[in-house]
């Protein structure tokens, strides 16, 4: 159990910070001139941070944090403004006919200026829809086009979902990825640059993933080879035959030169990577988990550089590309 001390500390710190934010939002909503639009914005940010934190938060803490945010959402939806009696009806005091009640147009000043609070459905507590989806393909090379420098999206990141692919090469090097979700991939090679948020891998088999991120969690996967640069301990659960190595050094230097690491808040120094300290939530005994190993220095170099070369390949012959994919997967990731 002591092996998970860092993860437990991170979870405790996140829960404490979220509770502090929720207490502040509750206090704000209790003020007579509460800016509910600003509260809604802060609530949305908190929901996003909770989604990203699920890579290391235990299920109990996830439910507790979601409940705190749901309480704030309910307060936004049901709370009436404390100054509801203040209207401009006094301007009609000269009228000889007593008014039975305030006219419909005589709303509190704040309600005239602010839109009504938007009710957050239960689905708001689930991960938000991804901005980009790459799904349901096989036997192909996939590289989303880069965002033009003049585009408003060029300085922002997108959440990306890659799902249900078989025998594909996926290059995300030209995208600014905020969070990445990989699901149901079989015999695939995927390469991505620095990611500002988290990576979640689910139900993947016999793949090579070249990843640079702040957080990584892998569920129910087998036979993965992962050259990795990461700011926190990788977490695996219900996995076997996983191999971890260092992200290609040439790519570290290249991305650092264009300040991609700075944008993602990741130290590009190879010594700063925590890829060697994997936490296996299904192995609570003392000693090394049998579900993952570290690659040799030769293997991690070959795996990372060959995957990077495959993802940036200009080979027109699709069959030759697929043959190279098969050889790479067979060499490094078959369980």
CATH no. for residue 12? 1.20.58
pLDDT digit string (tens) for 131-141?
Answer: 689 999 999 99
- The 8-class DSSP code of residue 240 comes to B
Cα(305)–Cα(222) distance, rounded to whole angstroms?
22
pLDDT digit string (tens) for 117-154?
Answer: 343 343 333 344 446 899 999 999 999 876 544 444 44
User: Does any domain span residue 321?
Assistant: yes
pLDDT at 236: 94
User: Does any domain span residue 111?
Assistant: no
Q: How confident is residue 268, by pLDDT bands cut at 50, 70 and 90? A: confident
pLDDT at 132: 84
Residue with tokens 């749901």: 70
pLDDT digit string (tens) for 281-321?
Answer: 888 788 899 999 999 999 999 999 999 999 888 766 788 88
User: Does any domain span residue 177?
Assistant: yes
| Domain extent at residue 216 | 132-146+153-332
Residues 206 and 317 in one domain: yes
- Helices then strands, counting H and E runs in the chain, come out as 8, 12
Residues 174 and 321 in one domain: yes
pLDDT digit string (tens) for 222-240?
Answer: 999 999 999 999 999 999 9
pLDDT at 225: 97
Residues 55 and 139 in one domain: no
Burial 29-59, CB ≥16 within 10 A → b, else e: beeeebebeebbebbeebbbbbbbbbbbbee
User: Does any domain span residue 109?
Assistant: no
User: Does any domain span residue 141?
Assistant: yes
Tally of domains in the chain:
2
Whether 192 contacts 210, CB under 8 Å: yes
User: Does any domain span residue 86?
Assistant: no
pLDDT at 119: 38
User: Does any domain span residue 39?
Assistant: yes
User: Does any domain span residue 181?
Assistant: yes
Cβ count near 107 (within 10 Å): 15
For residue 335, give both structure tokens.
């369980």
Record the pTM: 0.62
Residues 60 and 199 in one domain: no
């Amino acid at each position: 159990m002591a092996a998970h001390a860092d993860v437990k500390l991170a979870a405790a710190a996140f829960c404490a910070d979220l509770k502090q934010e929720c207490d502040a939002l509750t206090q704000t909503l209790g003020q007579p001139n509460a800016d509910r639009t600003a509260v809604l914005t802060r609530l949305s940010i908190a929901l996003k941070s909770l989604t990203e934190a699920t890579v290391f938060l235990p299920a109990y803490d996830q439910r507790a944090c979601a409940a705190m945010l749901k309480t704030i959402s309910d307060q936004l939806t049901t709370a009436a403004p404390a100054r509801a009696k203040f209207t401009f009806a006094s301007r009609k005091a000269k009228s000889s006919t007593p008014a039975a009640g305030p006219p419909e147009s005589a709303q509190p000043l704040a309600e005239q200026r602010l839109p009504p609070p938007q009710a957050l459905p239960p689905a708001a507590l689930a991960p938000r829809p991804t901005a980009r989806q790459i799904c349901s393909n096989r036997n192909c090379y996939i590289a989303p086009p880069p965002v033009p420098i003049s585009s408003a999206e060029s300085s922002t990141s997108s959440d990306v979902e890659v799902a249900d692919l078989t025998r594909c090469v996926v290059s995300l090097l030209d995208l600014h990825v905020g969070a990445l979700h990989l699901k149901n991939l079989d015999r695939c090679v995927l390469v991505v640059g620095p990611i500002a948020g988290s990576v979640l891998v689910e139900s993947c088999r016999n793949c090579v993933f070249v990843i640079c991120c702040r957080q990584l969690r892998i569920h129910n996967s087998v036979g993965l080879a992962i050259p990795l640069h990461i700011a926190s301990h990788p977490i695996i659960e219900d996995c076997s035959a996983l191999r971890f190595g260092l992200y290609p050094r040439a790519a570290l230097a290249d991305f650092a030169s264009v300040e991609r690491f700075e944008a993602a808040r990741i130290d590009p120094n190879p010594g700063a990577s925590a890829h060697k300290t994997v936490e296996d939530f299904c192995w609570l005994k003392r000693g090394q988990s049998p579900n993952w190993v570290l690659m040799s220095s030769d293997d991690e170099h070959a795996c990372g550089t060959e995957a990077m070369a495959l993802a940036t390949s200009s080979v027109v012959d699709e069959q030759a590309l697929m043959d190279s994919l098969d050889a790479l997967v067979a060499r490094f990731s078959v369980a």
